[in-house]
Chains A and B, each alone.
Chain A
Amino acid sequence: MSEQKKSNAILDKKSSRRTFIKNSGLTVGGVVLGGALGSLLVNDKQNTPTNTNEHSGGTNSNPNVALMYFTPDQYRITEAAAERIFPADENGPGAKELLVAYYIDHQLAGAWGMGSKEYTSGPFFEGADTQGYQGRQNRQQIFQIGLKGIQDQSLKTYEKSFIELSEEEQDAILSEFADGNVELRGTSSAHFFGVLRTATIEGAYADPLYGGNANMEGWKMKNFPGHQMSFVNIIEKEFTVVEPMALNSQHKH
Chain B
Amino acid sequence: MVTKLPKVDVVTIGVGWSAGIIAAELTKKGKKVVGLERGKERKTEDYYMAHDELRYAVRHEMMQDLSKETITFRNNDKMRSLPMRSYGSFLLGVGVGGSGAHWNGQNFRFLPYDFELRSKTIEKYGLDKIPADMTIQDWGITYDEIEPYYDQYEKMAGISGEDNPLGGKRSNPFPTPAMKKTEAMRLFDDTTKRMGYHPYVQPSANLSENYTNPDGISRAACQYCGFCERFGCEYGAKAEPGVTVLPVAQATGNFEVRPHSEVRRILYTNGKATGVLYTDLTTGEEFEQPADVVVLSGYVFTNVRLLLLSGIGRPYDPTTGTGVIGKNYAYQIRKGRATGFFDDHKFNNFAGAGGLGMIIDDFNGDNFDHSDLDFIHGGMIILGQTGQRPIANNQVPSGTKSWGKEFKDASLKYTNASLTVSGEGASMAYKQHFLDLDPVYKDAFGDPLVRITFDFEEQDRQLTKFMAEKCGEILKEMGANHVDVSGDLGPYNVAEYQSTHNTGGVIMGADPETSAVNNYSQMWDVENLFVVGASSFPQNAGYNPTGTVGALSYRAAEGILKYMEKGGSLI
- In the assembled complex, A117 has its CB within 8 A of some CB on chain B: yes
Shortest distance between the CB of B176 and any CB in chain A (Å): 15
Of the listed residues B59, B70, B394, the one surrounded by the most CB atoms of chain A closer than 10 A to its CB is: B59
| Contact in complex: B408, A121 (CB < 8 Å) | no
Checking B48, B52, B65, B88 against A132 with a beta-carbon cut-off of 8 angstroms, the contacting residue is: B88
Cβ of A205 within 8 Å of any chain B Cβ, yes or no, is yes
Against B, the Cβ 8 Å flags (1 = close, 0 = not) of A91-133 are 1001000000000000000011001111111010101111111
Q: Once the chains bind, are B391 and A231 in contact (CB under 8 Å)?
A: no
Interface string of A228-249 (1 = CB under 8 A from B): 1111101111111010000100
Interface residue tally for chain A (C-beta within 8 Å) = 64
By the criterion CB–CB under 8 Å, are B79 and A178 in contact?
Answer: no
Question: A87-B404, A117-B67, A130-B495 in contact; A231/B226 too (CB < 8 A)?
Answer: yes
A129 near B85 with CB under 8 A, answer no
A194 to chain B, nearest CB (A): 9
- Indicate if B197 sits at the interface (CB-CB under 8 A): no
B224 touches A224 (CB 8 A): no
Q: How far is the CA of A240 from the CA of B346 in the complex (A)?
A: 9
- Complex Cα distance, B104 from A133, in Å, reads 28
Residues of A within 8 A of B44 (CB): none
Determine, out of B177-185, B282-290, B470-478, the stretch whose residues face the partner at the interface: B177-185
Which listed residue, B74, B182, B412, touches A131 by the CB 8 Å rule? B74
Query: Hey, which chain A residues are within 8 Å of B52, CB to CB?
Result: 207, 209, 227, 247
Across the interface, which residues of B come within 8 angstroms of A235, CB to CB? 180, 182, 224, 348, 351-352
Contact status of A231 and B348, CB under 8 A, knowing A112-B59, A251-B49: yes
On whether the beta carbons of B84 and A218 are closer than 8 Å, the reply is no
How many B residues, CB 8 Å from partner? 59
Name A238's closest neighbour in chain B (CB-CB): B183
- Asked if B51 is an interface residue, CB under 8 A from chain A, the answer is yes
Stretch at the interface among B12-20, B167-175, B486-494: B486-494
Chain A interface, >50% SS class: loop
Tell whether A250 is near chain B: CB-to-CB under 8 Å. Answer: yes
Distance in angstroms between the alpha carbons of A207 and B52 in the assembled complex: 7
Please tell me if the beta carbons of B49 and A87 are within 8 angstroms of each other in the complex.
no
B84→A197 contact, CB < 8 A: no
Query: Considering the chains assembled together, what is the distance between the CA atoms of A250 and B225 in angstroms?
Result: 14
Inter-subunit contact A132/B86 (CB<8 Å) = yes
Chain B nearest CB from A83 CB (Å) reads 10
Partner of B225, one of A131, A133, A209, A230: A230
Other contacts beyond A118-B66, A132-B86: 9, CB < 8 A: A87-B404, A117-B60, A118-B67, A128-B79, A171-B404, A224-B390, A226-B51, A230-B225, A234-B351
- Residues of A at the B interface (CB closer than 8 Å) are 84-87, 89, 91, 94, 111-112, 115-121, 123, 125, 127-134, 171, 174, 178, 197, 200-202, 204-207, 209-210, 218-219, 221-232, 234-240, 242, 247, 250-251
9 of the cross-chain contacts (CB-CB < 8 Å) are A87-B408, A89-B409, A119-B85, A119-B86, A130-B494, A205-B390, A227-B52, A231-B351, A250-B51
